[in-house]
Chain A
Amino acid sequence: MYDVAVIGAGVVGSLTARALTRYQLSVAVLERAEDVAMGTSKANSAIVHAGFDAPEGSNKALFNVRGNAMMEETAHELGVPFQRNGSMVLAFGPEDEEKIQELYERGQKNGVPGLCILTGDQARETEPALSPDVTAALLAPTGGIVCPYELTIAACGNAMDNGAALLTGFEVTGAERTAEGWRLSARDGRTLDARFVVNAAGLYADQVAALMGDESLHIHPRRGEYLLLDRKEGRTVSHTLFQTPSVMGKGVLVTPTVDGNLLLGPTSVDLADKEDLSSTAEGLAQVAKLASRSVPSVALRSVITSFAGLRACEDGHDFVLRAENHALHLAGIESPGLSAAPALAEEAVRLLGEMGCPLTPNPDFQPVRPHSPVFRRMDNAARAALIQQDPRYGRVVCRCETVTEGEIVAAIHQNPPARDVDGIKRRTRSGMGRCQGGFCGPQVVEILARELGIPMEQVTKMGGGSRMLAGPLGETEEEKA
């Protein structure tokens, strides 16, 4: 019997689990995928929003501004890069200018610090690549960027280091109210008892709530497609550049990422299928076109990959935090959910306490995640010392992102452990660079097989049936079967 079961190892569930380990509670994180950060927290804009966008008084506004203020410390403790690079909303003419004035006023009401409106020329002075058509810009100095899956992985890892259990491949398909709490059952037949349940199931939070008797939520996916550019383009701009939302649409953003790439997107298309992460030719073309409007010189030649993410849009268009019947539903956590996540986690703990979950501080809680070395972020002297301790840090596997064998092996053995090629990629950046795994892929498969003690052909890209290889040479399909 666990004190708390958290369903969903996205950024919200992972930070909530971590926040719970600050108390003397046994915590289990249940995740349907084979790894953490496989849902919305894997693919989004990676912006820590300042908080001027959401209507005054909404949960989005409240937790965004609070989460933004908490992000620096959270990221620091977890050893995750976070940059307060500031963001701008660009106006292209009088209508947009009116709109950014509105955003400015809304931001003031939401308590966003430091907002100001720049003229087009002032904006271009700080961002020389901006289009000459920009007539004004709202500047939000507290806007920031963070890597969403790195934050999620680190949060879950830190929760595990502090005693939480992670059960992957655990898709909750049944929930039964027991005398003390809930009995959750998984598709594969496993069950787990917990006194309290936190539902942080992202796109599926409505379905999980329904399993627990609350059928009032309804979430549909809205797809956003992105283009990611080579690191050599990362300095094209320094701020996150939004376009003014208008009747024409929300526009797309142009932003550097913490890893030094340039990110363009997203589109916004409502879908029915919660699993449809495919990208489309039209979507990608639209991103390219709209991004060029903000930054005409944007180097579309340097695209290294494209991807899509799904927003969890709840009908009420606000974050839902509902505590009832030993369960806490965190639903409709669409943007700015990443920004708000540290504050949502804190609030989740408070709400659980209100429901009777005992909150006795855990004296052994370690907020700082021991970070295994990241070769590319070290200076040469530190590298030399590290290689002397462990020569595997001297063997570069991923040449584009300079990732060493030592880092890959560490990712397999650190919490939460990497089990597949994409898991290695998200933890170490091996395969994230300009060749997209063309060179390091075969070696990563080999290291995974060796460290996990499995044959090469059992190594997967992302768990399940995503096998990387058909089998050893000379084995026919019949023999395999």
Chain B
Amino acid sequence: MKELDLVIIGGGPAGLAAAVSAYDAGVRSLLILDREQQAGGILEQCIHNGFGLHRFGEELTGPEYAARYIDEVKKREIPVQLETMVLDLQPLPDGSKLVTAVSSGGMLELKAKAVILAMGCRERSRGALNIPGTRPAGIYTAGAAQKFVNIKGYLPGRRVVILGSGDIGLIMARRMTLEGAKVEAVCELMPYSGGLNRNIVQCLEDFGIPLLLSHTIVEIHGKERVTGVTIAQVDENRRPIPETRQEIPCDTVLLSCGLIPENELTTAAGIPLDPVTSGAVVDQYRQTGCPGVFACGNVLHVHDLVDYVSEEAALAGESAAAWLRGESLSGESVSLIPKDGVRYLVPQQLRLPLKDDLRLYFRVGAIYDKATVEVRCGEKLIFSRKRPRLVPGEMESLVLKKSLLEGLDGPLTVGLSLEGESK
């Protein structure tokens, strides 16, 4: 069995960036595994631009962004084994991890001291959404449609209704339109979009595609191929209002209703997950509940911009390197608890004492105008920051100075206080 210091599962933007930073922090015995034919992950099918503004200060396409990191990996001669699917991850009694993978070359067993999880996420399917009706051809997740169009060169359909206003759905609304399809509408169950504002403008408004907020598909029609959908407006409890039912003829339904981190291997390894993010519970080093296993990117929580993925991955890579050098990443553990409008926090745990300032990432559960984000330890207010507008579709972050967090004596809570409300 081959032994290595670090195995990185997933060669998308997270895995690539983690590998580069681990290498730069001194790790030399490392390997990236990916099931696809090329590295770059989902970016390879995202041929639109809008990647890299934060990281590189310029607008790149998905493949261009990926290529920057692939180049960095090549420069360092970090080995990447493609078309290799990891099937299992198990912690061993000696503290190392057994990674079992398969490729057309055969079965592969690796013993790794440290592992970085960077497997990305998948899209919510029709089944998980429980849309009633028939089960004809022509129902795709937006990502599957994107793969057909951008990688395989085929148009999945000509008359489209999109359910969900996630970013991939918005991008595909424009892409399908440019390829000659007619996008009839984008229906969004919530009273706000889950996608980035710039995508709503550039992908829908610029093409005159209606965005129907508080609307859902209540039935899919068609026996062989989709022939139409019935949509309806929903009330404040997200229940369809019967009088607003309306049929739209179409041959294709695209679903863009959220992404779910792919944590099958994490679960197999017995690593605890956060039920809200569906990713591992991690500390500020992005170390999971299993010492020496780190996580970053969309497998940890769904990011809206790849720039943040790279940033998080760099942190995970450095942490893995530190752990391999024998530096202590343990310490007293303090929980971070989301409350009052904050849906989740990453990290979910702190290891004290802190070595650096702490950057916290969070998402809110609804739209909030003029809210104040408050960080408290018990009743004590440690930090607060006003925000003009917080929306669920955009990930938020804040930096807490190391000095602020000295001498913590209990869990930290992060919540919103709204204007006019006093606490």
A residues within 8 Å of B by Cβ?
227-228, 232, 275, 277-281, 283-284, 303-307, 380, 383-384, 387-388, 391-392, 394-396, 399-400, 402, 421, 434-439, 441-442, 446, 456-457, 460-462, 464-477
Contact = CB atoms under 8 A, between A and B. Distances in A.
B130 interface: yes
Contacts of A307: 135
Given A388-B106, A470-B157, A470-B252, 4 more contacts: A275-B223, A383-B107, A435-B123, A436-B125
B234 to A, nearest CB: 12
Given A380-B100, A394-B102, A399 B135 contact: no
Nearest to A465: B224
Contact of A477 (B138, B151, B156, B158): B158
A396 B85 contact: yes
B153 A472 contact: yes
Given A305-B127, A402-B87, A465 B135 contact: no
Q: Which of A395, A421, A470 has the most CB of B within 10 A?
A: A470
Interface string B106-130: 1101000000000000110111101
Given A399-B85, A437-B144, A468 B126 contact: no
B154 interface: yes
A469 B149 CA distance: 10
Interface in B83-119: 83, 85, 87, 100, 102-107, 109
Contact of B127 (A228, A383, A396): A228
B185 to A, nearest CB: 19
B389 interface: no
Q: Is the interface of A mostly helix, strand, loop or mixed?
A: mixed
Contacts of A275: 223
A73 B154 CA distance: 46
B133 A304 contact: no
Given A275-B223, A306-B127, A469 B144 contact: no
13 contacts: A279-B133, A280-B132, A307-B135, A380-B107, A435-B123, A436-B125, A436-B126, A437-B144, A442-B144, A456-B154, A465-B224, A466-B137, A476-B180
B148 A469 contact: yes
A467 B225 CA distance: 7
Contacts of A472: 153-155
A225 to B, nearest CB: 9
Given A281-B132, A394-B103, A438 B127 contact: no
B239 to A, nearest CB: 10
B105 A391 contact: yes
Nearest to A379: B107
A470 B104 contact: no
Contact of B102 (A278, A306, A387, A437): A387
Contacts of B153: 472-473
A191 B152 CA distance: 41
Contact of B137 (A460, A471, A476): A460
B147 interface: yes
Contacts of A280: 132
Contacts of A475: 155
A421 B224 CA distance: 13
B224 A438 contact: no
B141 interface: yes
B300 to A, nearest CB: 19
A392 B179 CA distance: 34
B125 A466 contact: no
B144 A439 contact: yes
B333 interface: no
A284 B156 CA distance: 29
Contacts of B316: none
Contacts of B35: 396, 399
Nearest to B220: A278
B381 to A, nearest CB: 35
A263 to B, nearest CB: 13
Nearest to B103: A394
Contacts of B130: 227, 284, 303, 306
Contacts of A435: 122-123, 125, 141
A298 B181 CA distance: 42
